[in-house]
C-alpha cells in the first residue's frame, strides 16, 4: 500500500519526536511491504522565521494533498508572548489544522512496566489503566463567538462563548458509543448539566442515543466529579466522551495515569465531506514543544510512536501494523531498561527509539 503523509515537525522537541516516529514508520513499512511517501513542511516558529507565517499556504497545500498529517508540536512560550493571542502559532497553526476534525481520541494506557511511574498507589491501578478519552474538538469555548476583551482598563470586559449545536453534540456522542462498542462497552459521558445549557443539551442527547446502544453501559458524570473519579477508580473507566474544554483538562490529568504526558498519543478525525475527502486527519502526541529539553535528544518518543500506530489504524486500516508498533513500545517499557528521563531513566530519545525498532524487526 502507498501511504501519503504530511510531516509537520514544528517547534521545540517536535523535530526529535517526529523523527523517531518516522524511523518507526519506515521500519514498519519495510516489514509489511508498504511504501511511505512523506512530504515535510514547516509550521509554527520554524515557518514564522522563514516566511513570517506560522501556517504558510505551502504547508496548507501539503496537508491538503496528503492522506494524513503527522504533527510534532508548535509554540515556544518565550517567543509566543511577543505576539497577540490571535497570532500565536497554537491558534494560527494548530487550531487551523484541526478545523473540521471534531473527534479527538486520546489514549491513556499504563504499561505494566511503568506502574512505578504512575503517582497512584498499586491498589488503585491493579485493575490496569486503559482509557480512551474522546474530546470534542471543534466546538465549545475554543471557537464560540463572541470572544474577546473590550473596554478600557480597569473596567474591561471579557467574554468567551460556549456554544454547541445538537448536530455537533450528536456526532461526537456517536463516536463515543461506537468506540465503546469496540472496546469494553462502557461509556462515561462527562458534562456539567447541573449548570450549563450546552451540557443539558449534551445529556439529553446522550440519554436518547443510549437507547440505540443497549449493549453499551452508559454512565453520566459532572466534570468536577469525573476529575476526582479518574484518580479514585481509573481501572473502571473505558471510554470517556466530553466537550472540548473538559476534554482538554481531563486528558492532561489522565496523562499522569499513563506515567508521563510524553506517553499519550492522539488522533483528530472528521467526516468525509460531499467531495468524499474532508479535512486531512491529524495525528499528534498530546505533549507540547518542551523548549527546555529541545535539541538535547532527551524527549520521550513513545507518545509520537504510538501516534503513528493510531494513524495506521484509523486512516489506513492497517491493524496488524499498528498492533506491531504498540507491542514494540510496550515491550520496551515493560522491560524498563531503556527509558527517557520523564520515565525515570537516563536514555536518549534516539536510544529508546532504537530499542523499539529492535523489537519490531
Ligand atoms: C492540547 C493543547 C491545545 C488545546 C492548545 C495548545 C491550544 O492544550 O492539544 O490539548 O487546548 O487543544
Ligand atoms: Mg491540552
Q: What is the model's pLDDT at position 112?
A: 92
Distance 318 CA to ligand 1 centre (A): 28
- Choose the catalytic residue: 2, 49, 160, 224: 224
Best probe residue, ligand 1, of 105, 248, 262 (max atoms within 8 Å of C-beta) = 248
Average pLDDT over residues 124-147: 96
Residue 178's pLDDT band, with cuts at 50, 70 and 90, is very high
At 132, the pLDDT band (50, 70, 90 cuts) reads very high
Which one is catalytic: 142, 222, 283, 314? 142
Q: Are residues 276 and 238 in the same domain?
A: no
Q: Determine the structural domain holding residue 210 and report its residue range.
A: 119-258
Determine the residue of 43, 55, 72, 90 to mutate for testing ligand 1's pocket, defined as the one with the most ligand atoms within 8 A of the Cβ atom.
90
**Are 275 and 359 within one domain?**
yes
160 is catalytic: no
Q: Is 284 in the pocket of ligand 1 (CB under 6 A)?
A: no
Q: Are both 104 and 123 inside the same structural domain?
A: no
Do 125 and 247 lie in one domain? The reply is yes
- Residue 274, pLDDT > 80, answer no
In angstroms, what is the span from residue 360 Cα to ligand 1's centroid? Answer: 31
CA distance 26 to 38: 10
Task: Judge if the upstream peptide bond of residue 154 is cis by omega within 30 degrees of 0.
Answer: yes
Whether residues 241 and 340 share a domain: the answer is no
Q: Which of 234, 258, 282 is where one domain is finished?
A: 258
**What confidence score (pLDDT) does residue 16 get?**
98
pLDDT beyond 90 at 86? no
Distance CA 116, CA 3 (A): 38
Is 142 known to be catalytic?
Answer: yes
Question: What's the whole-number mean pLDDT along residues 339-343?
Answer: 97
Q: Give residue 32's pLDDT.
A: 98
| Residue 98 alpha carbon, nearest atom of ligand 1 | 12
Q: Confirm whether 264 is domain-assigned.
A: no
Tell whether 211 and 328 lie within a shared domain: no
Same domain membership, residue 249 and residue 128: yes
pLDDT in tens, 46-82: 999 999 999 999 999 999 999 999 999 999 999 999 9
Judgement on whether residues 106 and 164 belong to the same structural domain of the protein: no
pLDDT band at 1 (very low <50, low <70, confident <90, very high): very high
Identify the bridge partners of residue 105 per DSSP, sorted by sequence position.
Answer: 134, 267
176 lies in a domain? Answer: yes
Give the CA distances from residue 224 to residues 195, 249, 326, in Å, rounded to whole numbers and listed in that order: 12, 11, 32
Which ligand 1 atom is at minimum distance from the Cα of 74?
Answer: 6
Q: Which of 115-119, 225-229, 235-239 has the lowest mean pLDDT?
A: 115-119
Q: Check: pTM over 0.85? Answer yes or no.
A: yes
What is the CA(248)–ligand 1 centre distance, in A? 7
CA nearest neighbour of 133 among 253, 232, 217: 253
Check if 248 has its Cβ closer than 6 Å to any atom of ligand 1.
yes
Secondary element (H or E) of residue 105: strand 103-109
**Sorting pLDDT into bands at 50, 70 and 90, what band is 226?**
very high
For residue 28, tell me if it sits in a domain: yes
Residues 284-339: tens digit of each pLDDT: 999 999 999 999 999 999 999 999 999 999 999 999 999 999 999 999 999 999 99
Same domain, 102 and 159: no
Position 263 in a domain: no
* Boundary residue ending a domain (258, 285, 311): 258
pLDDT higher than threshold 80 for residue 276:
no
Nearest ligand 1 atom, CA 95: 7
* Residue-wise pLDDT tens digits, 213-223: 999 999 999 99
| 157/306 Cα distance (integer angstroms) | 43
- Residue 96 Cβ inside 6 Å of ligand 1? The answer reads no
**pLDDT over 70 percentage in the chain:** 99
Q: Same domain for 52 and 123? A: no
**Cα–Cα distance measured from residue 232 to residue 234, given in angstroms and rounded to the nearest whole number:** 6
Within this chain, do residues 274 and 204 fall inside the same structural domain, yes or no? Answer: no
Residue 313 placed within a domain:
yes
pLDDT of residue 277: 77
**Domain check: are 175 and 86 in the same one?**
no
Q: For the chain, what percent of residues have pLDDT higher than 90? A: 97
**Could you tell me the three cell numbers for 42?**
514547516
Which residue has a Cα nearest atom 10 of ligand 1? 248
Residue 167 located in a structural domain: yes
Task: Establish whether 143 is a catalytic residue.
Answer: no
Domain presence at residue 243 = yes
DSSP3 helix / strand / coil % (the chain, rounded to 5): 50, 20, 35
Q: How many domains does the chain have?
A: 2
Q: Could you tell me if residue 82 is inside a domain? A: yes
What span, in angstroms and rounded, lies between the C-alpha atoms of 49 and 289? 16
42, 192, 213, 222: the catalytic one is: 192
Ligand 1 pocket member 94 (CB < 6 A): yes
Which pLDDT does position 359 carry in this prediction? 97
**CATH code assigned at 49:** 3.40.718.10
- Return the ligand number nearest the Cα of 252: 2
Confirm whether 238 is a catalytic residue: no
- Please tell me the distance from the alpha carbon of residue 110 to that of residue 350, in angstroms, as a whole number: 22
Amino acid at each position: 500500500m502507498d501511504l501519503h503523509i504530511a510531516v509537520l515537525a514544528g517547534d521545540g522537541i517536535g523535530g526529535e519526536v517526529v523523527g523517531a516516529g518516522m524511523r518507526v514508520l519506515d521500519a514498519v513499512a519495510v516489514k509489511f511491504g508498504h511504501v511511505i511517501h512523506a512530504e515535510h513542511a514547516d509550521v509554527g516558529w520554524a515557518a514564522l522565521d522563514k516566511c513570517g507565517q506560522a501556517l504558510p499556504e505551502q504547508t496548507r497545500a501539503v496537508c491538503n494533498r496528503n492522506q494524513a498529517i503527522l504533527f510534532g508540536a508548535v509554540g515556544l512560550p518565550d517567543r509566543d508572548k511577543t505576539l497577540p493571542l490571535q497570532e500565536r502559532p497554537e491558534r494560527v497553526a494548530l487550531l487551523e489544522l484541526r478545523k473540521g476534525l471534531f473527534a479527538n481520541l486520546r489514549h491513556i494506557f499504563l504499561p505494566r512496566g511503568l506502574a512505578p511511574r504512575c503517582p497512584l498507589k498499586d491498589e488503585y491501578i491493579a485493575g490496569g489503566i486503559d482509557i480512551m478519552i474522546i474530546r470534542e474538538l471543534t466546538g465549545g469555548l475554543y471557537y464560540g463567538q463572541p470572544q474577546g476583551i473590550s473596554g478600557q482598563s480597569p473596567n474591561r470586559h471579557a467574554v468567551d462563548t460556549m456554544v454547541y449545536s445538537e448536530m455537533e453534540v450528536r456526532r461526537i456522542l456517536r463516536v463515543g458509543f461506537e468506540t465503546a462498542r469496540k472496546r469494553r462497552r462502557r461509556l462515561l459521558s462527562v458534562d456539567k448539566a447541573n449548570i450549563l445549557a450546552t451540557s443539558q443539551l449534551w445529556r439529553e442527547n446522550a440519554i436518547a442515543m443510549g437507547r440505540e446502544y443497549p449493549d453499551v453501559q452508559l454512565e453520566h458524570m459532572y466534570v468536577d466529579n469525573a476529575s476526582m473519579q479518574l484518580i479514585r477508580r481509573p481501572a473502571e473507566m473505558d471510554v470517556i466522551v466530553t466537550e472540548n474544554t473538559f476534554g482538554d483538562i481531563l486528558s492532561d490529568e489522565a496523562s499522569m495515569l499513563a506515567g508521563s504526558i510524553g506517553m499519550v498519543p492522539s488522533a483528530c478525525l472528521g467526516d468525509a465531506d460531499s467531495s468524499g475527502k474532508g479535512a486531512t486527519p491529524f495525528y499528534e502526541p498530546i505533549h507540547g514543544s518542551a523548549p527546555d529539553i529541545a535539541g538535547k535528544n532527551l524527549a520521550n518518543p513513545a507518545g509520537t510512536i504510538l501516534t503513528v500506530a493510531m494513524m495506521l489504524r484509523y486512516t489506513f486500516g492497517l491493524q496488524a501494523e499498528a498492533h506491531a508498533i504498540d507491542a514494540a513500545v510496550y515491550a520496551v517499557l515493560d522491560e524498563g531498561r531503556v527509558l527517557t528521563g520523564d520515565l525515570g531513566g537516563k536514555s536518549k530519545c534516539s536510544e529508546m527509539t532504537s530499542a523499539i525498532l529492535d523489537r519490531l524487526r
